[in-house]
Chains A and B, each alone.
Chain A
Amino acid sequence: MRGMIDFFRIICHNKRSLIGLIILVIFILMATAGPFIFKLNMTVDYNNRYLSPSLEHWLGTDFAGRDTFIQLVHGSKEVLLVGLLAAFFTLFVGALLGTLSGLVGGRLDAGIMLITNLFLTIPSFPILIIMAAIFSIRDPISFALVLSAWSWPGLTRAVRSQIISLKERDFIVICKVMGMSKPHIIFKELMPSITSFLSISFIMTMRGAITGSVGIMMLGLAPYSPTNWGQMLNLAVSQTGGIFNPLGFIYLFSPILCLAFFQLGSIFFANGIDEALNPRLRG
């Protein structure tokens, strides 16, 4: 508990990370509570298209007379869910393989590194869109799996190098000499030292996954949800729902601004985490 309080004290102390935290909390609230408060209605209503913002429609309506703000709120749930799942899968695979590779070494290490390097040298975005086309994505879980299929190698390599450099440090060597068990060394000594690194990687992977998912959606390759920000951009740009008519600009710019703010929030917050969890940086 004390650790948590300390953590938030340090986050709040740093102006940047506080701003990041606030932005992220707003988005999380928007994604979790939002869809329950605002009911989505996607029926086409041509009499009310391109309305300006008003009390009834906070951000006006889109090219088919549907409320832009409510679409944005429901979209945030989709976007964040995909990002969260993808980051979770990536972290799991990356941390597991990276730790194994770093600790065991030898043949296993060489094998894992060969596969990792293969994945790293294949251009990831093209293969992502091809996989999206072949597996015809219909739900957040399969979307997240496709996205994480190409984001684990970077993390694996980074975790491996962290583990290798830690392995030779005095305190780990002493643990070994004292005859402590392997699981104890791994979970009680090694893991806490890379927690800050892993949490930052989690946020950054989520950030990358969200960019990737919005990009794929924008190309119209995963059209399972009409309110996802990427799908909104696709409708606005490719289907010309928002680029010709200045009245449609709110529909075009609201997902863009949300995406930008979310990314900025993640970067700022990640900066703060590094300071909060990495005692060496506090000084």
Chain B
Amino acid sequence: MTPVIVLKRIGMAFVTVCLATVMTFVLLRLTPGNAIDAWARDYATQFGITLEEAYRRIAAMINYNPNEPLHEQFVRYISGLLHGNLGVSMVYQQITVNSIIANAMPWTIFVATISLFISFVIGMLLGVRMAWKRNSVLEPSVSLFTVITSAIPDFIFAILLLVVFAYGLNWFPVNGAYDPFVTPGFNLDFIVSVLYYATMPILTFVITNIGGWALMMKGNAVSVLGEDYIIAAKARGISESVIMNRYVMKNAMLPMITMLAITFGSMLGGATLIENIFQYPGIGYFLGEATRTRDYTVMQGIMLFLSVTMIVANLIADLVYSKLDPRIKVEG
């Protein structure tokens, strides 16, 4: 990949980020004006100030004043963003959107990373074995599993796990991210508690993702198995397990690295329903809460944050892929 193409990709990503910013601005403009009017009236009576002063103070808090002309609103919005300020929550006016995202993000990233890792590794191993032994029972059973898990939406699995393991068997907690009686920090109790509370969200992602990875891996592995160097390796008498793990696995994994980054990006956004079902305090849970209470500034901030994360994930996938596989010719 030449530097020109790298710059071009980064430029494209930048344009997409700008467009996404404009989109969230438009979204905020669609906010029913009366939400802010009501807030301003309350604010004016509460602090004994004029209505205009109240609008001015609110505008300073959320980077938005519906009474200004459009271009001034846009300038205010952008300058807020450039200062890294997403405003305060419209429902809990002491809490900034930045702090909500900063508190919620680690939980979502934690669950997404672990479940991605587990499902990727299991999928890899299954896929290679499926390609290696074509006529075993593994292939039809994994295919069936994949059809079922891709047909049933992930939030349905979440409900089933919740009903069976949390409410039915009482094996796992119903909500939260850790035991409220454990002191958060770097101690064994806390870590165990966090893992225990995250088990069901992770399990949901793993169940619904394994099949896809396995089938994708199988497809890649089958085409790798047809390559000359595999036949040559067999002819040289290299043992099966070495061929499978070193030759096939490594080469078939390459194209999937891209998918890994993209899936990670989309998992952050896709976690919304699952986090709401388990009431797991990640970013999706707060997005759901904000939407239910019509907390427009939080909605807008989380949306913008997720979009940027996904754009960056896609960019990294693009750049890393061509680095990993020298055979790929990248077109500008």
Is A219 located at the chain interface by the 8 A CB criterion? yes
Query: Measured between alpha carbons, how far is A125 from B162 in the docked complex, in Å?
Result: 22
Are B266 and A123 touching (Cβ within 8 A)?
Answer: yes
Query: Which of chain B's residues has its CB closest to A265's CB?
Result: B151
Task: From B38-46, B234-242, B244-252, B305-313, give the one contacting chain A.
Answer: B305-313
Identify A256's interface contact among B19, B160, B277, CB under 8 A: B160
Interface residues of B in 15-46 (CB under 8 A from A): 15-16, 19-20, 23, 27, 30-31
Complex: how many Å from CA A122 to CA B310? 7
Interface residue stretch chosen among A129-137, A161-169, A181-189: A129-137
Taking a contact as CB atoms under 8 Å apart, the answer to whether B16 and A121 are in contact is: yes
Q: Is B272 positioned at the interface, with any CB of A under 8 Å from its CB?
A: yes
Contact between A219 and B156, CB atoms less than 8 A apart:
no
Category for how many chain A residues contact B = 35 or more
Q: How far is the CA of A101 from the CA of B148 in the complex (A)?
A: 35
Asked if B291 is at the interface of the complex by the 8 Å CB criterion, the answer is: yes
Residue of B nearest to A259 (CB): B156
User: Is A267's CB under 8 angstroms from B151's CB?
Assistant: yes
Given A121-B311, A219-B291, A243-B167, decide whether A130 and B152 contact each other with a Cβ distance below 8 A: no
The answer to the question of B268 belonging to the interface, with a C-beta cut-off of 8 Å to chain A, is: yes
Asked if B270 lies at the interface with its beta carbon under 8 angstroms from chain A, I say yes
Interface of B is mostly: helix
CB contacts (< 8 Å) of B19 on chain A: these are 118
Which of B147, B294, B311 is within 8 Å of A264, CB to CB?
B147
Residues in A neighbouring B16, C-beta threshold 8 A: 117-118, 121
Chain B: CB-nearest residue to A266: B151
How far is A125 from B30 in the complex, measured between Cα atoms in Å?
Answer: 19
Given contacts A121-B310, A219-B292, A126 and B287 within 8 Å (CB-CB): yes
B153 within 8 A of A: yes
Check A256 against B159 for contact (C-beta < 8 Å). Answer: yes
Give the contacts of B156-188 with A (CB-CB under 8 A).
156, 159-160, 162-163, 167
Decide if B314 touches A121 in the complex (CB within 8 Å).
Answer: yes
Question: B273 contacts the other chain (Cβ, under 8 Å)?
Answer: yes
Please, which residue of chain A has its CB at the minimum distance from the CB of B314?
A121
Which residues on B sit within 8 Å (CB–CB) of A133? Answer: 291-292, 294, 299
Give Cα distance in the complex from A267 to B16, angstroms.
Answer: 33
Flag whether B255 is at the interface (Cβ < 8 A): no
Is B292 a contact partner of A221 (Cβ separation < 8 A)?
yes
Q: Would A218 and B152 be within 8 Å (CB), given that A244-B167, A252-B163 are in contact?
A: no
> Residue A211 at the B interface, CB < 8 A?
yes
- Taken together as a complex, chains A and B put the C-alpha atoms of A267 and B143 apart, in Å, by 13
The distance in angstroms between the C-alpha atoms of A218 and B306, with both chains bound, is: 22
Given contacts A121-B310, A126-B303, A129-B287, contact A260 B151 (CB under 8 A): yes
List the B side residues contacting A259 at CB < 8 Å: 152-153, 156
B27 in contact with A130 (CB, 8 Å): yes
Which A residue sits closest to B287, measured CB to CB?
A126
Residue pair B306, A126 in contact (C-beta under 8 Å): yes
Contact B310 A130 (CB under 8 A): no
A114 to B14, CA, bound (A): 12
User: With contacts defined as CB atoms under 8 Å apart, how many contacts are there between chain A and chain B in the complex?
Assistant: 101
Which among B152, B302, B311 is the interface contact of A263 at CB below 8 angstroms? B152
Complex: A259 Cα to B86 Cα, angstroms: 39
The digit string for B130-168, where 1 denotes a CB below 8 A from any CB of A, is 000000000000000001101111011001101100010
**B148–chain A nearest beta-carbon distance, Å:** 7
- Bound: A267/B20 CA distance, A: 33
Confirm or deny: B219 has a beta carbon within 8 angstroms of a beta carbon on chain A: no
Q: Which of B15, B148, B269, B277 is in CB contact (< 8 Å) with A125?
A: B269
- In the complex where A118-B16, A264-B148 touch, is A126 in contact with B156 (Cβ < 8 A)? no
Instruction: Give B196-213 as 1s and 0s: 1 = Cβ < 8 Å from A's Cβ atoms.
Output: 000000000000000000
Chain A residues with CB under 8 Å of B152's CB are: 259-260, 263
Proximity bits, A229-247, B CB within 8 Å = 1, else 0: 0000100010000011000
Per-residue CB contact flags for chain A residues 104-135 toward chain B (1 = under 8 Å, else 0) read 00000000001001100111111101101110
Q: Are A263 and B291 in contact (CB under 8 A)?
A: no
> How far, in angstroms, from A132 to B288 measured CA to CA in the complex?
11
Question: 1/0 per residue A7-48: CB within 8 Å of B?
Answer: 000000000000000000000000000000000000000000
Q: Which residue of B lies closest to A249 (CB)?
A: B163
In the assembled complex, A215 has its CB within 8 A of some CB on chain B: yes
Q: Are A215 and B269 in contact (CB under 8 A)?
A: no
**Chain B residues with CB below 8 A from A249, complex form:** 163
Q: How far is the CA of A120 from the CA of B222 in the complex (A)?
A: 30
Shortest Cβ distance from A237 into chain B, in angstroms? 6
- Is A214's CB within 8 Å of the partner chain B? yes
A residues sitting closer than 8 Å to B (CB atoms) are 114, 117-118, 121-127, 129-130, 132-134, 211, 214-215, 218-221, 233, 237, 243-244, 249, 252, 256, 259-260, 263-264, 266-267
Residues of B within 8 A of A (CB): 12, 15-16, 19-20, 23, 27, 30-31, 147-148, 150-153, 155-156, 159-160, 162-163, 167, 265-266, 268-270, 272-273, 276-277, 284, 287-288, 291-292, 294, 299, 302-303, 306-307, 310-311, 314
**10 CB < 8 A contacts A-B:** A118-B20, A121-B307, A122-B310, A126-B306, A130-B303, A134-B30, A211-B153, A219-B292, A243-B162, A266-B151
- A sample of 12 more A-B contacts (CB under 8 A), given A134-B30, A264-B148, is A121-B314, A123-B266, A123-B268, A123-B270, A123-B306, A125-B273, A214-B153, A215-B273, A219-B288, A237-B159, A243-B163, A267-B150
